[in-house]
Amino acid sequence: MARYFLELAYKGTAYHGFQIQDNAPTIQLEIEKALETLFKTRFDLTGSSRTDAGVHALQNYFHFDTNLEITNRHKYNLNAILPPDIAVKSIKTVADDAHCRFDAVARSYEYYIYQDKNPFLKDRGWFYPYELDFSLLQQAATLLKNHTDFTSFAKRNTQVFTHNCTIYVSEWSKAAAQQYIYKVQANRFLRGMVRGLVGTMLKVGRGQLSISDFENIILTKDCTKADFSTPPQGLFLAKVIYP
């Protein structure tokens, strides 16, 4: 058997997340259905990065094994079958032991907020019509790189052996008038971590928390201190990085 990496992008609005679930539309279910329709056989898919309901991805991956000969031209056939909010970007053969989840060395996420009501952004960003101090947002984002234990930004009952993450990039930028993007890249992320970081940093930007308060939330290692109310539609998995 040969192993393949399937790269895809999707708008997550209509789906209950990335990984297959009982009686719910998911990205994995749609990809499996499309592969089975095209090749008349079932495929067992392994996903790289789970995303929650409503979260989008500019890049994500599945891998699978098959005796069939599959080439990159099959992406056109799959895209003709898939719904318009999911796109296959490439299909490539890889080493037999390549693993799309465990071989990734880093992942990048982006979170979008906009402050002027815009009907064209409502499912691709968070309408946040509050005055923000951009310099405070940037200070909070930079501070994160000084820490590795992000227990405070992991949702309860997260089943992991460690809450340590190494953040390589953490910064806010202005995309356009009254639009902001938070970009973060790390070797790993905890469940709910990016949304928790964004929600808590926005409190800093509004003056509801000081930089010292924000650092204390990190140090307390208590997830009840962070703000996880950030909605999913502003979050994008931007890139999965391999060696």
DSSP SS3 for 231: coil
Catalytic, 22? Answer no
Secondary structure class of 75 (helix, strand, coil): helix
User: Rounded to 5, what percent of the chain is helix, strand, coil?
Assistant: 30, 30, 40
Q: In whole angstroms, what is the distance from residue 100 CA to residue 47 CA? A: 7
CA geometry: angle at 24 spanning 22 and 26, to 5°?
105
Of 52, 103, 123, 213, catalytic: 52
CB neighbours of 101 closer than 8 A, spacing ≥ 6? 46, 47, 48, 49
In sequence order, what are the residues at sequence separation of 6 or more whose Cβ sits closer than 8 angstroms to the Cβ of residue 148?
A: 164, 165, 166
CA distances from residue 136 to 4, 132, 167, 197, 208 in whole angstroms, order as listed: 44, 8, 19, 14, 11
Residue 68 phi/psi, 5-degree rounding, is -70, 150
For 226, what's the count of Cα atoms within 13 Å in the CB-facing half-sphere? 26
Paired tokens of 34: 């499309």
Catalytic residue IDs: 52
